[in-house]
Amino acid sequence: MITGELKSRIDKLWTEFWTGGITNPLTVIEQITFLMFARLLDITETRNQKRAGRTGKPYKRIFDEHEQHLRWQFFKQIGADQMLPLIRDRVFPHFKMIAELDTDDGARQTTFKEYFKDAQLMIQKPSLLVSAVNMIDELPLTEGDTKGDLYEYLLGKLTTAGINGQFRTPRHIIRLMVELLDPKPTEVIADPACGTGGFLVGVMEYLLREHTSPEGIIEHPVNGRMEQTYTGDLLEGHWQHIRTRMFNGFDFDATMLRIAAMNLLLHGVDAPDIHYQDTLSNSFTDKFPDKASNGFDVILANPPFKGSLDEEDVHPTLLRKVKTKKTELLFIALILRMLKNGGRCAVVVPDGVLFGSSKAHQALRQYLVEENQLEGVISLPSGVFKPYAGVSTAILIFTKGGRTDNVFFYDLQDDGFSLDDKRTPLYDSHYAGDLPDALARWQARNPEIDADRSDKGFFVSAKDIAGNKFDLSINRYKETEYKEERYDSPKNILDRMKSLEVDIMKDMDELEGMLQ
């Protein structure tokens, strides 16, 4: 949770970019990301220098003796006219030359070279650059918990959907999906359309919450109330896996990848395995055969909803399962291919996937039910993704392999925010409304007990679903109780109206008498 003061700093920085002529939110975040990265490189170099001084051991330098002027601590002190050409012509090219960095425990840090190879300084005004550098210099980038929240607040300013159906998943929906799957610190996680890395960050936050002992919870005051920071002290023995192998993401938007890499770094994941890749294409299988098939224990995703692909670009193994050009159907087939047998998935889908009548829609749903374990369908209110989109959506939860006996449906009507474009919080907590109940009902679900279809949560047998052309829309199965409303007879209503009219005329006569 970041403080009001920190929010005001970010807002001021955002305004500086806006007034400086950079108004595209994605470009603003990208440029801030580059500058934050430059400062983090300097922080890492200073930390490595101090460690080498204590231990006497050599380290891999980020800046050699001829590159000291490219460090944050140097160029932040020079004038505007000198700073802009130095950062544009020397610092940014230096990003591209950075190979692998060593973390404190010797583990390989992610090759940021892949994400920053096309980095360009878009800031043209020297005064704007100086202002941005000064503001970023004041941000608490050395504080793990705060810097992650800070970056999430920045990402919250992405208020427009992308041209390919991309839009950011709200953090409270991410948290629900992660908690539904309960990922373990030994598992391998992926998002085939990772965007800004929200789901991967959500898993990291979940691990810290679930694997912190009471002694590892640190309380500190924020805006007059106590907040908690989780240390993850029970994750000892898992950190190497978590920081270097656990998190995998793919996206075909290079800007999103840069932001995702920084987002994960600021949340303590030093080496996420993130790649520029269209996971629906033939090249995904060619480049990453171990990831394209049977590669992951857990997948969380909110893939692009709209758009069609050329069949020649789609790998034939996906088309064999569902012959379609629609990306929302192909991604489900892709996820099932990427999961290991027994692997679990929670994915956001548009409602059309649940009840679409085309052969491809029905074939996909039949595949989910008859050749895999479709475990849950959680219906979301249509305003969840506003202001990005007003489309109605649901969360599908399934396990690869086996067969489906019963499916748990839950009608989530209140996600804790207003369902208009403003998305105003309705409660003190951002994890409220039906979310805690949905999780509790999911964890305690029982087909023999949850049989009342007029309830928010209930089971439907696979046989019933098959008999309805594998329709998965909750309204197909939910039963509505109609209560008989009793009304007074028209004569009684008319008599009361006459009585009221008499009383009104009496009051008016009294008022008239007072005026004489």
- Per the domain annotation, does 107 fall within a domain? yes
Q: H or E stretch including 180? A: helix 171-181
Helices (H) then strands (E): counts for the chain: 21, 11
Helix (H) or strand (E) holding 395: strand 393-399
The reported pLDDT for the residue numbered 249 is 94
pLDDT in tens, the chain (516 residues): 566 788 888 888 899 898 888 888 888 888 988 898 888 888 878 887 887 787 787 877 888 888 999 999 999 999 999 999 999 999 988 877 764 444 444 333 444 666 676 788 999 999 999 999 999 998 887 765 566 677 777 877 775 444 444 567 888 999 999 999 999 999 999 999 998 888 999 999 999 999 989 888 877 655 555 667 787 888 989 988 998 889 999 998 877 888 888 788 777 787 788 888 889 888 898 899 999 999 999 999 999 876 666 667 787 888 888 888 888 899 999 999 999 999 999 999 999 999 999 999 999 999 999 999 999 999 999 888 887 677 889 999 999 999 999 999 999 999 999 988 888 889 988 789 999 999 999 999 999 999 999 999 999 999 999 999 999 999 999 987 766 777 788 888 888 898 898 889 888 888 888 886
> Which are the contacts of 466, defined by CB distance < 8 A and separation ≥ 6?
366, 369, 370
149 lies in the same domain as 180: no
Residue 240: other Cβ atoms inside 10 A: 14
Domain co-membership, 371 together with 386 = yes
User: Using CA atoms, how far apart are residues 315 and 280, in angstroms rounded to an integer?
Assistant: 7
pLDDT of residue 307: 62
Q: Which of 415, 376, 416 is nearest to 399 (CA)?
A: 376
The pLDDT assigned to 350 comes to: 93
SS (H, E, C) 306-346: CCECCHHHECHHHHHHCCCCEHHHHHHHHHHHHEEEEEEEE
Residue 211 belongs to domain spanning: 159-219+238-476
Residues belonging to the chain: 516
Q: Is residue 146 part of a domain?
A: yes
Is there a single domain that holds both residue 200 and residue 75? no
Is residue 232 one of the residues assigned to a domain?
no
3-state DSSP percent of the chain in helix, strand and coil, to 5: 45, 15, 40
In terms of domains, do 119 and 205 share one?
Answer: no
Q: Does any domain span residue 509?
A: no
Distances (CA, A) of 416 to 169, 368, 381: 15, 30, 11
Q: Do residue 68 and residue 185 come from a single domain?
A: no
What is the count of structural domains for the chain? 2
Tokens of residue 202, six digits: 């959500």
Phi-psi region of 239 (alpha: psi -120 to 50; beta: other; left: phi over 0): alpha
Cα separation, 186 vs 246, in Å, equals 8
Locate tokens 């929200």: which residue? 198
User: According to the model, what pLDDT value does residue 233 have?
Assistant: 84
Q: Are 410 and 376 in contact (CB under 8 A)?
A: yes
Sign of the alpha-carbon torsion through 329, 333, 334, 338: positive
- CA pair distance 208, 185, nearest whole angstrom: 10
CA distances from 484 to 452, 475, 478, 481, 487 (A): 20, 22, 19, 10, 10
502 inside domain: no
Interatomic CA distance for residues 416 and 170, integer angstroms = 11
d(CA 338, CA 328): 16
Shared-domain flag, residues 268 and 137: no
**Per residue in 107-143, is it b (16+ CB within 10 Å) or e — as a string?**
eebbbbeebbeebebebebeebbbbbbebbeebebee
Residues 193, 123 share a domain: no
How far apart, in whole angstroms, are the C-alpha atoms of residue 78 and residue 57?
33
183 and 149 in a common domain: no
Question: With contact defined as beta carbons under 8 Å apart, do 331 and 347 qualify?
Answer: yes
What distance in Å separates the CA atoms of residue 399 and residue 406, rounded to the nearest whole number? 13
The CA–CA distances, whole Å, from 271 to 11, 260, 296, 337, 493 equal 30, 12, 17, 25, 74
Q: Is residue 510 part of a domain?
A: no
CATH number at residue 49: 1.20.1260.30
**Radius of gyration (C-alpha) of the chain in whole angstroms:** 28
Amino acid at 44: T
| Final residue of a structural domain among 153, 175, 202 | 153
Whether residue 416 sits in one domain with residue 400: yes
Q: Residues 469, 470, 475, 481: is their CA dihedral positive or negative? A: positive
CA distance 116 to 96: 6
Q: Give the number of other Cβ atoms within 10 Å of residue 54's Cβ.
A: 8
For helices 171-181 and 435-443, give the axis angle rounded to 10 degrees: 10
Give the integer Cα–Cα distance in Å for 343 and 339.
5
CA 78 to chain centre: 38
In a domain, 229, yes or no: no
97 residue type, one letter:
M
In which residue are the tokens 């999430």 written? 152
Q: In terms of domains, do 57 and 164 share one?
A: no
| CATH number for the domain that contains residue 307 | 3.40.50.150
